[in-house]
Amino acid sequence: MASTTPRYWLMKSEPEECSIDDALAAPKATVPWVGVRNYQARNFMRDGMRVGDGVLFYHSSCAEPGIVGIARVASGVRADPTQFDAKSPYYDAASKLDAPRWLLVDVQALRKTRVLGLPELRGVPALADMMVLRKGNRLSITPVDAAHWRLIADGLLA
DNA sequence: GCCAACGTTGGC
DNA sequence: GCCAACGTTGGC
Protein backbone atom coordinates (compact mmCIF):
# COMPACT_ATOMS: atom_id res chain seq x y z
CA MET A 1 0.00 0.00 0.00
CA ALA A 2 1.05 3.56 -0.50
CA SER A 3 2.49 4.97 2.66
CA THR A 4 2.87 8.48 3.95
CA THR A 5 5.13 7.31 6.73
CA PRO A 6 8.25 9.42 6.69
CA ARG A 7 11.40 7.67 5.69
CA TYR A 8 14.88 8.60 6.72
CA TRP A 9 18.27 8.47 5.06
CA LEU A 10 21.89 9.24 5.67
CA MET A 11 23.68 10.87 2.76
CA LYS A 12 27.45 11.28 2.57
CA SER A 13 29.09 14.26 0.97
CA GLU A 14 32.73 15.21 0.89
CA PRO A 15 32.81 18.71 2.38
CA GLU A 16 35.34 19.77 -0.25
CA GLU A 17 32.70 18.91 -2.84
CA CYS A 18 29.57 20.07 -1.06
CA SER A 19 29.56 20.85 2.65
CA ILE A 20 26.55 21.57 4.82
CA ASP A 21 27.55 25.23 4.62
CA ASP A 22 27.60 25.03 0.82
CA ALA A 23 24.13 23.49 0.83
CA LEU A 24 22.74 26.13 3.21
CA ALA A 25 24.23 28.88 1.05
CA ALA A 26 22.66 27.54 -2.15
CA PRO A 27 19.40 29.00 -3.50
CA LYS A 28 16.56 27.64 -1.35
CA ALA A 29 19.32 25.79 0.56
CA THR A 30 18.86 23.12 -2.06
CA VAL A 31 21.50 21.22 -4.01
CA PRO A 32 21.30 18.52 -6.69
CA TRP A 33 22.91 15.40 -5.25
CA VAL A 34 25.29 14.78 -8.15
CA GLY A 35 27.88 12.07 -8.39
CA VAL A 36 26.24 8.93 -7.04
CA ARG A 37 27.89 6.15 -9.04
CA ASN A 38 26.88 3.09 -7.09
CA TYR A 39 23.85 1.07 -8.11
CA GLN A 40 22.67 0.32 -4.59
CA ALA A 41 22.76 3.99 -3.63
CA ARG A 42 21.06 4.93 -6.90
CA ASN A 43 18.32 2.39 -6.26
CA PHE A 44 17.67 3.82 -2.80
CA MET A 45 17.00 7.19 -4.45
CA ARG A 46 14.93 5.70 -7.26
CA ASP A 47 12.89 3.17 -5.32
CA GLY A 48 12.88 4.36 -1.74
CA MET A 49 12.98 8.12 -1.51
CA ARG A 50 9.95 10.38 -1.34
CA VAL A 51 9.84 14.16 -1.23
CA GLY A 52 9.97 15.19 2.40
CA ASP A 53 12.00 12.25 3.65
CA GLY A 54 14.44 13.18 6.40
CA VAL A 55 18.15 13.25 5.63
CA LEU A 56 21.13 13.13 7.96
CA PHE A 57 23.76 15.18 6.15
CA TYR A 58 27.14 13.47 6.64
CA HIS A 59 30.65 14.70 5.91
CA SER A 60 33.02 11.98 4.68
CA SER A 61 36.69 11.88 3.70
CA CYS A 62 37.59 14.77 5.95
CA ALA A 63 39.26 15.54 9.26
CA GLU A 64 36.13 15.02 11.33
CA PRO A 65 33.72 12.63 9.59
CA GLY A 66 30.21 12.60 10.99
CA ILE A 67 26.70 13.98 10.84
CA VAL A 68 26.72 17.75 10.45
CA GLY A 69 23.18 18.72 9.60
CA ILE A 70 19.54 17.90 9.01
CA ALA A 71 18.08 18.02 5.51
CA ARG A 72 15.16 16.74 3.51
CA VAL A 73 14.56 15.14 0.15
CA ALA A 74 13.28 18.01 -1.99
CA SER A 75 12.54 16.38 -5.35
CA GLY A 76 11.92 13.13 -7.09
CA VAL A 77 14.66 11.42 -9.07
CA ARG A 78 15.91 12.69 -12.38
CA ALA A 79 18.96 12.07 -14.54
CA ASP A 80 22.26 13.28 -13.09
CA PRO A 81 23.53 15.68 -15.77
CA THR A 82 27.17 15.20 -14.80
CA GLN A 83 27.18 11.72 -16.35
CA PHE A 84 26.90 13.37 -19.79
CA ASP A 85 29.52 16.06 -19.14
CA ALA A 86 32.85 14.90 -20.55
CA LYS A 87 34.64 17.47 -18.40
CA SER A 88 33.10 16.22 -15.18
CA PRO A 89 34.86 13.75 -12.92
CA TYR A 90 31.49 12.00 -12.82
CA TYR A 91 31.34 11.57 -16.60
CA ASP A 92 30.18 8.13 -17.72
CA ALA A 93 30.82 7.52 -21.41
CA ALA A 94 28.69 4.39 -21.31
CA SER A 95 25.54 6.20 -20.22
CA LYS A 96 23.10 7.15 -22.97
CA LEU A 97 20.99 10.31 -23.06
CA ASP A 98 17.83 8.29 -23.69
CA ALA A 99 18.72 5.76 -21.00
CA PRO A 100 20.54 7.58 -18.21
CA ARG A 101 22.32 5.24 -15.88
CA TRP A 102 22.71 7.65 -12.96
CA LEU A 103 20.07 9.57 -11.07
CA LEU A 104 19.90 12.28 -8.45
CA VAL A 105 17.47 13.99 -6.13
CA ASP A 106 17.52 17.52 -4.79
CA VAL A 107 18.45 17.81 -1.13
CA GLN A 108 17.37 20.80 0.93
CA ALA A 109 19.45 21.61 3.99
CA LEU A 110 17.27 22.54 6.96
CA ARG A 111 19.79 23.25 9.67
CA LYS A 112 23.43 22.86 10.53
CA THR A 113 24.18 20.94 13.69
CA ARG A 114 27.25 20.32 15.75
CA VAL A 115 29.45 17.57 14.37
CA LEU A 116 28.16 14.23 15.60
CA GLY A 117 31.32 12.32 14.84
CA LEU A 118 31.93 8.65 14.25
CA PRO A 119 33.49 7.97 17.66
CA GLU A 120 30.45 9.44 19.41
CA LEU A 121 28.05 7.55 17.13
CA ARG A 122 29.90 4.32 17.85
CA GLY A 123 29.61 5.05 21.54
CA VAL A 124 25.81 4.98 21.53
CA PRO A 125 24.71 1.36 21.96
CA ALA A 126 21.25 2.03 20.51
CA LEU A 127 22.88 3.09 17.23
CA ALA A 128 25.18 0.11 16.92
CA ASP A 129 23.38 -1.38 13.93
CA MET A 130 23.28 1.78 11.85
CA MET A 131 24.48 0.90 8.36
CA VAL A 132 26.98 3.73 8.27
CA LEU A 133 28.73 2.29 11.32
CA ARG A 134 29.19 -1.15 9.83
CA LYS A 135 32.81 -2.04 9.23
CA GLY A 136 33.81 -1.45 5.66
CA ASN A 137 30.63 0.39 4.75
CA ARG A 138 31.15 2.50 1.65
CA LEU A 139 27.60 3.20 0.59
CA SER A 140 27.07 6.92 0.21
CA ILE A 141 23.32 6.64 0.81
CA THR A 142 21.87 4.41 3.50
CA PRO A 143 18.39 4.10 5.01
CA VAL A 144 18.04 5.13 8.65
CA ASP A 145 15.62 3.47 11.07
CA ALA A 146 12.93 5.73 12.50
CA ALA A 147 14.19 5.00 16.01
CA HIS A 148 17.72 5.96 15.02
CA TRP A 149 16.43 9.13 13.37
CA ARG A 150 14.54 10.17 16.50
CA LEU A 151 17.51 9.46 18.73
CA ILE A 152 19.79 11.55 16.52
CA ALA A 153 17.64 14.35 15.10
CA ASP A 154 15.35 14.82 18.10
CA GLY A 155 17.83 13.72 20.76
CA LEU A 156 21.55 14.10 20.27
CA LEU A 157 21.18 16.96 17.79
CA ALA A 158 18.00 18.58 19.10
C1' DG B 1 50.01 7.32 2.91
C1' DC B 2 48.14 2.91 4.41
C1' DC B 3 44.99 -0.54 4.00
C1' DA B 4 40.47 -3.08 4.70
C1' DA B 5 36.32 -3.70 2.43
C1' DC B 6 33.76 -3.98 -1.38
C1' DG B 7 32.21 -3.15 -6.35
C1' DT B 8 33.33 -3.74 -11.19
C1' DT B 9 35.64 -5.66 -15.09
C1' DG B 10 37.03 -9.00 -18.16
C1' DG B 11 39.36 -13.44 -19.44
C1' DC B 12 38.15 -17.94 -19.65
C1' DG C 1 29.05 -18.17 -14.44
C1' DC C 2 33.47 -18.09 -11.96
C1' DC C 3 36.88 -15.51 -9.99
C1' DA C 4 41.33 -12.94 -10.07
C1' DA C 5 42.77 -8.42 -10.88
C1' DC C 6 41.93 -3.93 -10.40
C1' DG C 7 39.79 0.47 -8.83
C1' DT C 8 37.41 3.15 -5.32
C1' DT C 9 35.85 4.51 -0.76
C1' DG C 10 36.87 6.30 3.39
C1' DG C 11 38.58 5.90 8.21
C1' DC C 12 42.74 6.26 10.45
For the stretch A96-131, pLDDT in tens is 888 999 999 999 999 999 999 999 999 999 999 999
Residue A123 corresponds to which amino acid?
Answer: G
Provide the positions of strand C that have an atom within 7 A of a protein CB: 8-12
For residue A67, CA distances in Å to A62, A84, A85 come to 12, 31, 30
Map residue A81 onto helix, strand or coil: helix
> Amino acid letter at A89?
P
Domain assignment of residue A102, yes or no: yes
- What is the percentage of chain A residues whose pLDDT exceeds 70? 97
CATH of the domain at A18: 3.10.590.10
Q: Under a CB-based contact definition with an 8 Å cutoff, are residues A103 and A110 in contact?
A: no
Quickly list H helices, A45-145.
Answer: 118-122
Residue A104 lies in a domain: yes
Nucleotides on chain B within 7 angstroms of protein Cβ: 4-9
- Distance CA A139 to C1' B1 in A: 23
Per-residue pLDDT, A2: 58
The number of distinct structural domains making up chain A is: 1
From the CA of A14, how many Å to the C1' of B3? 20
**Domain annotation covers residue A1:** no
Predicted local confidence at residue A106, as pLDDT: 98
A3 located within any domain: no
Q: How far is the CA of A63 from the C1' of B4 (A)?
A: 19
- Å from the A58 CA to the B6 C1': 20
Phi and psi, residue A142, nearest 5°: -135, 145
Tell me the residue type at A24: L
In a domain, A158, yes or no: no
Look up the pTM and report it: 0.94
A32 part of a folded domain: yes
Give every residue of chain A whose pLDDT is below 50, as ranges: none
* A86: containing domain: 8-152
